[in-house]
Chains A and B, each alone.
Chain A
């Protein structure tokens, strides 16, 4: 990419121009992060009357806490399920659009709408649809002989939040997949057709391998999304229950810190999450920004 280079003659002007951005970063990101790191080494009582330095105590307790390890496991299941479901469906839709309606704008626009829905609204929407008492889907499932109740059944609850979180993300993935598919030269598919590959074979041997940069990019984005941005979906649909079945890491940070007022533990958990984000960001810069180009 070509970068525009500007030369400033005034020594302070560049700093002045950068100041608003830097101020926002410092006040809203660096400062709270530093606070979290500091807090994670302290133990405080619920009323904030007594503070005690405990070193790595909060961290050590976390890793011997079964409910925290459970949250890790729940998060992994949740992240993998959402990524698989939302990317799989998005790819399916993108291929359909690419095959039938090359660059049909209106259809594409319609599919993008869910992305504009707030996560909390998405959570409530699916909560209603799946509500065991008034929802339409449990009624339909009951006709098929399945007794749906995400308030009691952990698996049902997980399925509910996975669907709610995926639904929102499909449109985003879809856009990237469509763009990726349109970037594959038509002549490659034609060459493969002449080379005797059927539509399915063509997809798996030519199209999908060429989509791999897009797929990898989306995988990282989706994992990041499910780990952090699905807080509202969980909060609106299940509140982490039943019995911790949908209590993902980021939701546990909130519960332990702001509901149970165990600030030290909550801070330690956010520091761990911070390291996960840093790792994901590193992966993204290291492999994706240096995009695979053919």
Chain B
């Protein structure tokens, strides 16, 4: 064969969700990324999460910018609209789409170049506005499509494939997100789906901006010895700081844990994130403490992962997310009939008295 096709056949025992869909129904066409690319594993985790959450694919808006990460929305949810826009500008497009129709489940997939260099401003402002979206950074520390230049997330001292050493300090999206008020902040690893899938589910259900930085090794340009974003380096320095489970609203928590070992945070729709094995001196709802803790772990050479920070749902229920701030009606704006938007001739006549 000279092209690759993924046969439609699936495991005969493949489960269906309440929509009658199998996990395979949430796939897209075959990835054209390099074999072994971490992004493909993230795609698989996204597929899993959407399937488990039983979200109808066509209710989803898949947003991306440019770069390897920008291509990935093609590879999941073929029955969802996608928007592969321009470099670093995915947050703006998502903001617009979300403003027009907040019932769309927005997932943005970005990369370290897309979010931390050319799109740093938009990334920051989307967090500031607390757009209701899951924002994934597929973070590999390099520019892939332009053949391996360091990106803004490349660690100080990391080595490029050609041997040069990076002498600029990285921008850490997790620290940045904590600083800018993101309400859901996580870091994970493409090679750890057990951790990744619940985080993605939580991020999708979170009302507001969910920032998930995912180390996603570039097998072609950044998986060599000396790289700090390789599979091997990531595994060697991995510290799963917080383990989080996603529990949908209707489901009872059955597993029992030692008291004090588990902490449950309820989200606006009744979904819960259940934190397990949290270190004693760590409070995933205390922004300052989380910031300090992660800085500390970084100094110790560790990559702290997990759902690191989750803001409490504001008690007024109004929410600090985009539509709450905007004061928009519950019905998506796109659903309003013209008749309810246009004031009409009489109102115009009345109004124009002011202009005389």
Query: Do A and B form a real pair?
Result: no
- B residues near A (Cβ < 8 Å) are none
